[in-house]
Amino acid sequence: MRNVTPLYRLRHNNAVYSVAFSKTGTQLVSGSLDKTIKLWSLKDGTESRQLKGHREAVCAITYLPDDEAILSASLDKTLRLWDPTSGELRSTLSGHQAYLTCMAVSPDGSFAVSGSQDKNLILWDLANGSQLSVLSRHTDFVDCVAISPDGKFLASAGHDMTIRLWDIAERKELQQLGPHRTPIWSLTFSPDGKTIAAGDNDRVIRLWNPETGTLMAELPGHTGTVKSLVYSSNGSILASGSSDTTIRLWDIQTGKADTVLSDHRNTIYDLKFSSDDSQLASASFDRTIRLWKLSR
């Protein structure tokens, strides 16, 4: 079992949907149903800045490489780029025709992808805010997206219960993984790009080989929908968060959840490791972010 120590409990005025560490590990950023973005100092757990402008819930958020900007995604159908130092809004990206539900950024920070209840994916050039492409193969709401560590492939999934794998340069669908038996709510690539982990309503995490399209393993244990998934940067841990209010830390070597964290009181919507894997942040519908210190 891993030694996990609670550090801070941070609070929004409504459900927290997304959280991200700065690359330097000194700041945390969070997005909420209260329509705000909050920046937190990890030195003492205090709120250092609040960003306002979105008209609906902030459903996804991340720092760009080198922490030069913060990118947020909202149910208001927009993506917004912010200056993390001044808090000023740099640009607004619009294009979806229904709730924008998910977002991911390429490893080099040059482009992003967003998914929506309009069933479409949009690729964005972050340098100028323009649309690069619209991908329209999904037959129902898109609920989660992930970009491979090498930036070449995109995985997307949602209410049509199928993971679609895309070649980003060619803007084409390569194959479909699944289908799952229920809507898929969470996706993540392993750091080596050789595994896609997916979570859905039937409480089982499925591990897929993106090259062959085969199911590699199933990880049962949660008693609710698996809403969030993230690998540690060294690939040894898969963290999962669920509507059963627990976080599970899976040992990839054994396929077992050797640690279960149960401090939240509602669904865990997002999980992120710090760049050195020493900390884990969790965002929950209970209006809190929990910060955890990890050690063996």
First CA to last CA across the chain, in angstroms? 8
CB 192 within 8 A of CB 235: yes
Distance, CA of 191 to chain centre: 14
| The pLDDT value given to residue 240 | 98
| The pLDDT value given to residue 2 | 82
What does the angle CA 208 – CA 152 – CA 145 come to, to the nearest 5 degrees?
55
Q: Which residues fall within 8 angstroms of residue 165, CB to CB, at 6 or more apart?
A: 153, 154, 155, 173, 174, 175, 176, 177, 196, 210, 213
| The pLDDT value given to residue 13 | 98
pLDDT tens digits along 10-38? 999 999 999 999 999 999 999 999 999 99
Mean of pLDDT values over 239-244? 98
Mean of pLDDT values over 228-253? 97
| The pLDDT value given to residue 148 | 98
User: pLDDT grade, residue 295 (50/70/90)?
Assistant: confident
pLDDT tens digits along 199-227? 999 999 999 999 999 999 999 999 999 99
Question: What SS3 class is residue 94?
Answer: strand
What pTM value is reported for the model? 0.96
| The pLDDT value given to residue 294 | 94
- In degrees and rounded to multiples of 5, residue 67 shows phi and psi of 60, 25
CATH fold of 3-295 reads Methylamine Dehydrogenase; Chain H (2.130.10)
Mean of pLDDT values over 39-56? 97
Cis peptide before 220 (omega within 30 of 0): no
Whether the per-residue pLDDT at 1 is higher than 90: the answer is no
CB 79 within 8 A of CB 124: yes
Mean of pLDDT values over 248-261? 95
The residues facing 145 across adjacent strands are: 156
Rama region for 69: left / alpha / beta (φ>0; ψ in -120 to 50; rest): beta
Mean of pLDDT values over 71-80? 98
Sheet order of strands, 268-273 included: 3-11, 288-295, 279-284, 268-273
pLDDT tens digits along 119-171? 999 999 999 999 999 999 999 999 999 999 999 999 999 999 999 999 999 99
What does the angle CA 129 – CA 27 – CA 199 come to, to the nearest 5 degrees?
70
| The pLDDT value given to residue 79 | 98
pLDDT tens digits along 87-125? 999 999 999 999 999 999 999 999 999 999 999 999 999
Mean of pLDDT values over 52-64? 98
Q: Which residues fall within 8 angstroms of residue 217, CB to CB, at 6 or more apart?
A: 206, 207, 255
Domain boundaries, the chain: 3-295
